[in-house]
Chain A
């Protein structure tokens, strides 16, 4: 069977020097081992994320996403778009759904796209990296590549919002999705049980309403500690950043002693597949994952 190829939509935060650059490093390492081929969509642009709603209006936001669709179909025809970022995935999928269900919006979007020399006929499937892993490769294939199981490590899978709602991963529930726990177990670690798995980290409001967002983050980290977890693992760049970088501020505000590393699933997998700390982007942690560094060096 010919190997499936994908159109890659890395998103703004994954770029070099940006807040999720270590996510991309680990995804590249993981995909190399799993032999997943992804080609970046030429000249892709920002999806607008959820937070742009007030300034963007509807059609300009749809046009931005449609531009990515049109570029993908033009240069990588027939390939599914794969996003690693939860917000990119959601923004694109939401746009796809609206354009496919509303001919007026689709016609207006095409009129706008014409100004950029593009035209949209077919909208590709839009998928999250995790869907490719679970649905196209499957847990057995993911397990097959494990060289160094993460034996004895206790990890809280933090699913968060936007890879879970409103679309979610097929076959999973909104209230207690299991895919991240299964990925953790696939690489030999223990997924701890805690009640904040799908609680919101505050999202973009970590910027505009820091006190409220940090109160939510505090609940998540606290519950993860209570479950015996040594670290958090997430599929979303904003979840990762919010739950990692504000721990110091939360400690000051609440007198807590949080120091919990927050990793991406792709970092876990890269390490379990025998990759180095550098392959896994561990140098990109703000709270160093020392246990993982030691593990990688073994």
Chain B
């Protein structure tokens, strides 16, 4: 168990609902759920296999204090951010944000599933975008393909060759970005200082010592 996980377990003892309310983005809405299941019926990913728990089930598990089951769940990581659950919820619960919030919290305290592809995408995207202030699409794609090593990366890149070539031909993928010739912000230094401060303030407000 990670230090942060132990720290939070000690802080909240058996009150997992309170932990989610205070630690997860929009977590204070969880207790508003009345278990109607409209969110699950509205989710486009629900038509595929691989879900541990639909949203309303996660919310009930939180109230029941099933900490391990919730934090280890893969459900939050399946969210496509389509906001269908969000607009259809009769209680107007911001479900999309709560799913993101629980996922972020699980990751932050070292409880996210190992090798979760969407977690890896989230990390890669944010780090890519904040490095220079703007996304470098070529490096983003490369990092995503080569996450499991060179051999697997080449295989994936080959499988996606047609897609990439089509985009290059249409001038919508610039190979020069691979060597760092790309769009960037001028005040990269200011952006990095701003983000360091924002991270520091958020950790402080949530009582997390990194």
Contacts and interface: CB of A to CB of B under 8 A. Distances in A.
B126 A205 contact: no
Contacts of B88: 174
B199 A111 contact: no
B86 interface: yes
B44 A59 contact: no
Contacts, number: 222
A56 interface: yes
The range of chain B's interface size is 35 or more
B48 A215 contact: yes
A212 B48 contact: yes
B90 to A, nearest CB: 14
A165 B190 contact: no
A137 interface: no
B171 A53 contact: no
A18 interface: yes
Contact of A52 (B82, B125, B183, B201): B125
Interface stretch (A183-191, A223-231, A242-250): A242-250
B80 A205 contact: yes
A199 B44 contact: yes
Interface in B131-178: 133-135, 137, 144, 162-163, 166-167, 169-174, 176-177
A161 B193 contact: no
Interface residues of A, number: 71
A54 interface: yes
Contacts of B199: 57, 59-60
Q: Which 6 A-B pairs have the closest CB atoms?
A: A17-B174, A116-B190, A165-B83, A50-B81, A200-B82, A55-B126
B83 A54 contact: no
B209 to A, nearest CB: 15
A108 interface: yes
A209 B201 contact: no
A125 interface: no
Given A165-B84, A248-B166, 6 more contacts: A52-B125, A63-B197, A166-B87, A168-B87, A212-B50, A213-B80
A245 B104 contact: no
16 contacts: A12-B129, A18-B183, A46-B129, A53-B25, A57-B104, A111-B197, A115-B196, A116-B191, A117-B190, A161-B80, A162-B83, A168-B87, A208-B117, A245-B166, A285-B170, A286-B167
B45 interface: yes
B45 A212 contact: yes
Contacts of B177: 17
A16 B187 CA distance: 20
B133 A52 contact: no
Contacts of A195: none
